[in-house]
Amino acid sequence: MFEQLISRANGRIEAHDNGTITGYAIVYYNGSPGTEYQLGPDTFERIERGAAKNAIRDGIIATREHDNKLILGRSPETLTLWEDEHGIGYTIKLDLDTTMGRDAYNLVRSKRLQGSSFKAYVTPSYSRDGNKNVKLVRAFKRLDEISIVAEPAYEGTTAVVRSIADECRRLEETESRILIARKLLHVPT
């Protein structure tokens, strides 16, 4: 059985000089409160590590506040998604020549929008963990949308605006790590 899930994930969103917003729309449960969402007094939703890895595809949209009139990006052209041990991360390349792009950029930069969310079809299971009822999302059938939001549910999500300088530093750090790994493994450069 699949059910539609719209979940707001909480975290930090920052704006970067190159007009990109980067963050995590989906966070995998790791035991900390920011990686589960309280559905009711004793009921929590958790997303199992790896549950969304097969949901990344072309055609996923990025919106503001889940409003399909406020589309900020679409994969793979202006929305990039990836999966790692933390969850599903994203980068939106905003069109700063539009009012919508500038507004999203400024709302994130000013921290008025500081969380992420997603809309997906999922396969849940239900169990108990001590005195908690747990809805565990084991698999995503389809991820339709990620969204930057003012009030996310999952506190562990992030969204930041990146500068060109940030991107250059990140690339330099990655290249340095690769060179160190190659030296340690005696791989010719």
Check residue 157 and give its pLDDT: 74
Check if the beta carbon of residue 23 is closer than 8 Å to that of residue 158: yes
Check residue 82 and give its pLDDT: 93
Residue 73 to residue 70: CA distance in whole angstroms: 9
Task: Tell me if the pTM is above 0.85.
Answer: no
Check residue 186 and give its pLDDT: 62
Q: Which CA distances in Å does 93 have to 71, 75, 119, 152?
A: 12, 10, 20, 21
The conformation of residue 35, written as its DSSP 8-state character, comes to: G
Look up residue 161 and give its two tokens: 């605006």
Residue 157 to residue 88: CA distance in whole angstroms: 9
pLDDT values of the chain reduced to their tens digit, one per residue, 189 residues: 455 555 555 445 556 678 899 888 999 999 988 899 888 899 999 999 999 989 999 999 999 999 999 999 999 999 999 999 999 999 999 999 999 999 999 999 888 888 898 999 998 899 999 999 999 999 999 999 999 998 877 777 767 665 444 545 555 555 665 566 556 566 555
